[in-house]
Amino acid sequence: MAKFKYHFNPVSLSYDRVTTSVRTWFWRVFTFFTATLAISVGYYAVFTYFFDSPKEQILTRELRQMEFQYELLNKKLSLIEDVMKEIQERDDNIYRSIFESEPIPSSVRQAGFGGVNRYEHLLGYGNSRLMVETSTRVDKITKQLYVQSKSFDEVVELLKNKEDILASTPAIRPIRELKYVASGYGMRLHPIYKTMHFHQGMDFAAPIGTDVIATADGKVVETDYRNYNRGYGLMIRIDHGYGYTTLYGHLSDILVRRGEQVKRGQIIAKVGNTGQSTGPHLHYEVHKSGRVMNPMGYYFNDLTPAEYDQMLQMASTGKTFD
C-alpha cells in the first residue's frame, strides 16, 4: 500500500497530495545514509577504543597464556640446566678420579653457535626476546646433551680398557725399599752447575746394585748402553701405552732388551752412578702425553697416606743428585 502525504490548502479548503521531486527524495536518502554511517563509525570507534572485540579478547587471552607458558618453560629449563651441570661435574670427576684422564674441556661443553643469526625468524615481534632466549637455551641444552652422550660412550670404552689402563699406569716406586729416600721434582739447585734448573724427576738415593723395578706394564723402547744419553748415563725408557712413559737413569746395569715387554714390579736394572750424577742414585721420570709429570702423583699402589706424607716432605726439600 503506497503512502501519500497530503497538504491542507486553506485557499481551496481541500487536501492536496504532496508530490516530492526526485531531487528532494534523493537528497533525503543521501542525508539519511550519511548520518547513519557517521553515527555507526562514531560508535564503532568509541567501542573499539574502550572494548576489545570478542575475537581480540580471545587472541589476547591466548597470548597471555602463551607468555605464561614460555615463562614456565624457562623455569623448567633452569632446572634442566642445573641437572645438566651436575651430570657434567660428575662426568668430569669420573674422568679425573677413575681414569686419571683429562675431562672434556668446558669450552667444548659450553660451545655456542657462532656465525649467522639462527634466530632471525623470531625477531621483530613483541615477544622476540622471550622466544629467542628460550630457543637459545633449548638449543644449548640439546648440544650439551649430545656432548654428554658422546662422553658416556667414551667412558664405556675406558671402562672396557680399565684393567689394562690400571696395569699400564705407573703406580709404585721404582725402588722397593722404603728406607731409600727420594727427593726433588721441581726447581732445584743443580748439584754440578750450581744453577737453578727444573728437575724433571725424582732421585732415589740407594747403593749401587740396588734393584730398579718397572712401575707399570709396558714395552722397553729405549736402552742406552753406549751414548750415556743426555746426562742420564745408562738409562731405560718404557712405553706403557695410554700416553704414559717412564724413564730410569744413572743405572749401573740394564737387565732388559729394547722391545721387551715388562710387567709391573719386574726388576729391569741396577742402581748406579753413571752420567751426570753426584752420587749413587736412581733418577726416575714419569711422562703423560708428552708432558713431564711429578712422580709423586704415581705411587698410589704402594704408599700409605703417612708414607706418602713423609715422602712428599723429603721430595720437596731434599737435594737432588740429578
Kindly list the residues in this chain that would bind Zn ion in the complex (CB under 5 A): 203, 283, 322
Tell the smallest beta-carbon distance from residue 320 to Zn ion (Å).
5
Whether 145 and 84 have beta carbons less than 8 Å apart is answered as yes
Rounded CA separation 156/311 (Å): 35
Query: Cα(159)–Cα(287) distance, rounded to whole angstroms?
Result: 22
C-alpha cell at 250: 744413572
Residue 201: CB minimum distance to Zn ion, A: 5
Q: Report which residue's Cβ sits closest to Zn ion.
A: 283
Collapsed DSSP state (helix, strand, coil) of residue 269: strand
Which residue lies nearer to Zn ion by CB, 122 or 212? 212
Smallest gap, in angstroms, from Cβ of residue 77 to Zn ion?
55
Rounded to a whole number of angstroms, the minimum distance from the CB of residue 203 to Zn ion is 4
Specify the residue, 218 or 295, whose C-beta has the smaller distance to Zn ion. Answer: 295
Cell of 88: 657434567
Q: Select 218 or 233, whichever has its Cβ closest to Zn ion.
A: 233
For Zn ion, which is the closer residue by CB, 165 or 251?
Answer: 251
Q: Minimal distance in Å, beta carbon 190 to Zn ion?
A: 10
Q: What are phi and psi of 263, to 5 degrees?
A: -110, 155
In this structure, what are the phi and psi dihedrals at residue 18, rounded to the nearest 5 degrees?
-85, 125
* Cβ-based nearer residue to Zn ion, 224 or 322: 322
3-state secondary structure of 298: helix
Of 109 and 283, which CB lies nearer to Zn ion in the complex structure? Answer: 283
Q: For residue 65, give the amino acid letter.
A: Q
Question: Longest C-alpha distance within the chain, in Å?
Answer: 160
Quote the least distance from Cβ 116 to Zn ion, whole Å: 56
Shortest distance, CB of residue 181 to Zn ion, whole angstroms?
13
CB 91 within 8 A of CB 148: yes
Of 91 and 203, CB closest to Zn ion: 203
Strands (E), the chain: 6-9, 14-17, 182-183, 186-189, 196-199, 202-205, 211-213, 218-224, 234-241, 244-254, 261-262, 267-271, 281-288, 291-293
Name the CA dihedral angle for 63, 68, 69, 71, rounded to a multiple of 10 degrees: 130
